[in-house]
Amino acid sequence: MTELVLCWHFHQPDYRGDDGVYRLPWTYLHAFKDYSDMAAHLEAHPGVRAVVNFVPVLLDQLADYAEQFRSGEVRDPLLAALIDPQPCDTLEKRRDLVAACFRLNRPTMMNWFAGYRALYTQWKEVEIEDDAALLALPATFFSDLVTWYHLAWSGESVRRATPLMAHWLGREDHFSLAERQQLFAWMGAVVSGIIPRFKALLERGQIEISTTPHSHPILPLLLDFTSAQAARPGLPLPGSAAYPGGAVRAEAHVAAAIATHTAYFGVAPQGCWPAEGGVSEAALTVLHAAGLRWAASGGGVLAHTRADLDLPDAPGWRVGDQSIACFFRDDHLSDLIGFEYQHWHSNDAVRHFVHAVEAHGQRHSRLATVILDGENAWEYYPYNGWHFLDELYTALETHATVTTTTFAAYLDAHAATLGTLPHLVAGSWVYGDFTTWIGDPAKNRAWDLLCAAKRAYDAASPGLSLAQQQQAERVLCSCESSDWFWWLGDYNPSESVGLFDALFRHKLALLYAALAVPEPATLALPLARGGGAAESGGVMRR
């Protein structure tokens, strides 16, 4: 018998800026498309168990969007444009809409819809002209464009449950304001239902919900910059010797994660997917001290750790004398789903995957561990991965020798089967190291800016009122997110680099404002020195 853990990681950083206004729309778009579909697949297949990992700052944003839909007081400009009677009454609005509403994977999210393709063709005919051409486009072009964009971001489960929406996807005529308002209402129902649906799956025992340090910081780097050199000796580090007060900050993110999780789901989490699977022995100590039973990381971390060790395979591990269990992602199985099967017919992909899991059980341990984003892969699959996931869950529900489980359930039944590692080489799920977040000149400059802001925070916060301290703490948490560092580097798409570079510096400026401290002039300077080639029709993919 082979036991399989499917761990789906749901993660979006805090996109809010001044006054709670959202600078990027990915939270509600992924909720409408991906989180809703992932819930629907589990609801339709009660025999499949899984782990769903929610980053706490994503939960906070989902709850915030639910309130925006309820009140009608929308603080996301793109969402607001959907129900704006005049979404294109200024040149700036027109520019913003064409910049935003063609930002998707065109082969699977645009090209199937004649009405949407027609708008794209019309736009390409005037794109290289001046602003006069943009102003000459009729108002219906922009109201239709924002409607089609949101329709394209609808989940397959939503389309199947909403016949009128399915009918709209075949239209080529214009959308009225009333119809746009109807789409807004559908979206509100879906987004507002995400947390309750997953809570219900948890309460019926089908899923385990795990957590991540609150705002998605890389714990080992908060604790010690030199941990980045464990897997990459000689890696260049920031000018700052260490992140000021990093141990306290790491503990604060973990404590906040557990509190947030408990508030939304009624129980404390048992396990943790640290941000980007980033682990070190010091980070595991922090997680264990907070009461967590397990953590997980990438297969590359285990490979680096075992490079000089002659140890038999084990389903999971304990490190030294630490009692917290550590599971490691099977990179081959996970990457098949994340990157490969989008090109396959769903039947072939499911047969191949199930055979690969069976082979894993025969060659290695009785536990196969699949961990990947539960949101970003699906726009590259036909029908948002609907047929692949439905057929996969059907096969797993009835398989004779492969059964799905959760990390907590596996520990309950098989804790004695874990192996012991004498030490752990710090790293993440990406290459087994931290080079995605530190070591590049732009990433190191970002860390130095953050260190300077943290020193300002430490100096100013004692003189602030309680309310001011709480506001500064919220902004600091967001500044410590790993996402700002991920996108820096000239190997990334230039559009993504620019957006996240600007948002990071904006958040640092908000922190200085919350501290009533003048911001340094360096915040006005982009961290990136250019960027890679823009993606061809794709979204910003993790």
Distance between CA 146 and CA 84 in Å, rounded?
10
Indicate whether 537 pLDDT > 50: no
95 alpha carbon, distance to own chain's centre = 27
Among 53, 13, 36, smallest CA distance to 196 is for 36
Among 90, 77, 101, smallest CA distance to 24 is for 77
* Whether 295 contacts 389, CB under 8 Å: no
Specify the range with the lowest mean pLDDT, choosing from 122-126, 299-303, 479-483: 122-126
Q: Rounded to whole angstroms, what are the CA distances from 26 to 8, 12, 23, 110, 373? A: 17, 7, 10, 17, 14
Q: Which amino acid is at 295?
A: A
Side-chain-side CA neighbours of 365 within 13 Å: the count stands at 22
Q: What tokens appear for 109 in the block?
A: 């999210």
**Would you state the pLDDT for residue 529?**
67
Indicate whether 127 pLDDT > 90: no
**Helix (H), strand (E) at residue 51:** strand 50-54
Q: Rounded to whole angstroms, what are the CA distances from 96 to 17, 25, 134, 219? A: 17, 13, 11, 36
Specify the range with the lowest mean pLDDT, choosing from 26-35, 163-172, 524-533: 524-533
Over residues 461-481, the mean pLDDT reads 96
* Whether 87 contacts 147, CB under 8 Å: no
Over residues 8-26, the mean pLDDT reads 93
Please report where in the chains the tokens 């398989």 appear, as a residue: 399
Indicate whether 499 pLDDT > 50: yes
Over residues 291-308, the mean pLDDT reads 97
Over residues 457-464, the mean pLDDT reads 97
pLDDT range class, residue 289, cuts 50, 70, 90: very high
Q: What tokens appear for 217 in the block?
A: 């910081």
**Would you state the pLDDT for residue 305?**
98
Distance between CA 528 and CA 498 in Å, rounded?
7
* Whether 479 contacts 507, CB under 8 Å: yes
What secondary structure does DSSP assign to 244-266, as a single string? TTHHHHHHHHHHHHHHHHHHHHS
Over residues 307-326, the mean pLDDT reads 94
The phi, psi pair for 217, rounded to 5°, reads: -85, 155
Over residues 477-482, the mean pLDDT reads 97
| Number of other residues whose CB lies within 10 A of the CB of residue 263 | 12
**Would you state the pLDDT for residue 297?**
98
The DSSP 8-state label assigned to residue 337 in this structure reads I
| Number of other residues whose CB lies within 10 A of the CB of residue 333 | 22
pLDDT range class, residue 395, cuts 50, 70, 90: very high
| Number of other residues whose CB lies within 10 A of the CB of residue 234 | 7
- Helix, strand or coil, per DSSP, at residue 372: strand
pLDDT range class, residue 24, cuts 50, 70, 90: very high
The DSSP 8-state label assigned to residue 176 in this structure reads P
- What is the distance between the terminal CA atoms of the chain, rounded to a whole angstrom? 33
* Whether 319 contacts 424, CB under 8 Å: yes
Q: Which amino acid is at 374?
A: G
Over residues 145-172, the mean pLDDT reads 97
pLDDT range class, residue 104, cuts 50, 70, 90: very high
pLDDT in tens, 164-209: 999 999 999 999 999 999 999 999 999 999 999 999 999 999 999 9
Among 316, 305, 322, smallest CA distance to 407 is for 316
Over residues 30-59, the mean pLDDT reads 98
> Which residues does 461 contact at the CB level (< 8 Å), separation at least 6?
469, 472, 515
Q: What tokens appear for 77 in the block?
A: 């400009």
Q: Classify residue 416 as exposed, middle or buried by CB count within 10 Å of its CB (0-12, 13-18, 19+).
A: exposed
Distance between CA 91 and CA 84 in Å, rounded?
15
Indicate whether 539 pLDDT > 50: no
Q: Which amino acid is at 165?
A: M
* Whether 210 contacts 325, CB under 8 Å: no
- Helix, strand or coil, per DSSP, at residue 7: strand
Q: What is the mean pLDDT of the chain?
A: 95
Q: What tokens appear for 123 in the block?
A: 């736009």
Distance between CA 465 and CA 455 in Å, rounded?
18
- Helix, strand or coil, per DSSP, at residue 219: helix
Q: Rounded to whole angstroms, what are the CA distances from 455 to 90, 311, 463, 489, 517? A: 42, 44, 14, 25, 11
